[in-house]
Structure 1
Amino acid sequence: MEITIQQIEAILDTKVRPALAEHNGDVMIQSLEDHVLKVRLTGKCSGCPAAHSTNEELITAEVQSAFPSIQDVILVEEINPELIDMAHKILNHEI
């Protein structure tokens, strides 16, 4: 049986997001391909030093418990484009 993103979202809604919300954060699904789920942390959880632990101990644990066929959950880390823009402005003495 093929796992859908909607099924994973339901697990995230009940098992993961409440804990992340306590820290003013959230998780977004980037993709699900070949039994590998890619997620991105948002809000205050984005860029947090504990992000990898959160992914391994909370997100991966809950997703793989519900869906054993998910082989890996990869944390995609991206720098917010607004932060890059601000850094460029600071370096160029624009602000």
Structure 2
Amino acid sequence: MMPFSDEDLQLPVSTIIEKKVAPMLARDGGAIELLDIKNGRVFVQLKGACVGCSASGSTLKYVVEKELKSAIHPDLQIVNVPQGMENNLEEL
């Protein structure tokens, strides 16, 4: 069980994404956007060169997920939201 509310997670998650993850992805032409946090699930969308890249799954797991879980809580779930699904997070 997540010991933090979604509101408590907002600042640390967005800070890590903006300060650590986004600059790493930008070096290769990629980008990431934090869409929402619901019930300990962090919804992000990979953009730029990350869209359609064969390494995007690894990027999500070994960069985004690793950074967030190690810095905040190991039970966080990271969900990559496909293009066009931004308004349907409850379906993911």
* TM over 0.5, shorter chain: yes
- Map of 1:47-66 to 2, 5 A cutoff? 47-66=52-71
Counterpart check, 1:25 vs 2:18: no
How far does residue 70 in structure 1 lie from its aligned partner after superposition? 4.6
- Map of 1:4-83 to 2, 5 A cutoff? 4-68=9-73, 70-78=75-83
Contact 2:60 2:80 in 1 (8 A): yes
Q: Give 5+ residue unaligned stretches, structure 2.
A: 85-92
Give the aligned length. 79
Larger Cα-atom Rg = 1
How far does residue 62 in structure 1 lie from its aligned partner after superposition? 0.4
Alignment root-mean-square deviation, CA: 1.6
How far does residue 36 in structure 1 lie from its aligned partner after superposition? 0.6
Pick 1 or 2: higher relative contact order, CA cutoff 8 A, min separation 6.
2
Contact 1:47 1:77 in 2 (8 A): no
Contact 1:63 1:70 in 2 (8 A): no
How far does residue 24 in structure 1 lie from its aligned partner after superposition? 1.1
Under a length normalisation based on structure 1, what TM-score does the superposition of the two structures give? Answer: 0.73
Q: Give 5+ residue unaligned stretches, structure 1.
A: 80-95
Amino acid at match of 1:35: G
Under a length normalisation based on structure 2, what TM-score does the superposition of the two structures give? Answer: 0.75
